[in-house]
Amino acid sequence: MDAASPRKISIGILFSQLGIGFLTAFLFLMFSDFTSAKSSLLGSLIAVITSVNFMNIVLQKRHQEPRKILNSLYLMEAFKFLLTGVFFGVAIILIKAMFFPLIIGYIVAVFIYWLSLLAA
Could you write out the three-class secondary structure of 45-100? HHHHHHHHHHHHHHCCCCCCCHHHHHHHHHHHHHHHHHHHHHHHHHHHHHCCCCHH
pLDDT reading at 1 higher than 60: no
Is the pLDDT confidence value at 57 over 80?
Answer: no
Give pLDDT tens digits for 76-108: 889 989 999 999 999 999 999 999 999 999 999
Q: pLDDT, tens digit, for every residue of 17-51?
A: 999 999 999 999 999 999 999 999 999 999 999 98
In the predicted model, is pLDDT for residue 4 greater than 80? no
> Would you place residue 53 in the very low, low, confident or very high pLDDT band (cuts 50, 70, 90)?
confident
- All structural domains of the chain with their residue ranges: 6-119
2 three-class SS = coil
Find the helix or strand (DSSP H, E) in which 115 lies.
Answer: helix 99-119
